Amino acid sequence: MKLPNCPNVREGVCERSMLRLLGEDEQSWVFTCASCHLIWKVSKPRTAERARYELEIDRTQRASEAERAAAKQTRYFMMPSKELINK
């Protein structure tokens, strides 16, 4: 994985990216730029992949629940009127 640049460098606000690592947890790294003093977080790749997987599972589960709810709804079938039958 390539180390990130300061987001302000990309926007032209910061002159140069002077990356410093402030901290780390299981899900992300916290960086600061010594030049412009911006602080930002970067998700670890494993966390991003897990988040995508969980999102996909959640979408699938919601779709399944919606199908089950639609299947449980009462359906009404009515005989056509005599006028429609005779035509």
24-74 confidence digits (pLDDT tens): 988 889 999 999 999 999 888 887 788 888 888 888 889 989 998 998 888
Name which of 58, 20, 57 is nearest 42 in CA terms. Answer: 20
| pTM assigned to the model | 0.55
d(CA 56, CA 38): 33
Structure confidence at residue 85 (pLDDT) = 66
26-37 confidence digits (pLDDT tens): 888 999 999 999
Structure confidence at residue 43 (pLDDT) = 85
3-16 confidence digits (pLDDT tens): 788 999 888 888 88
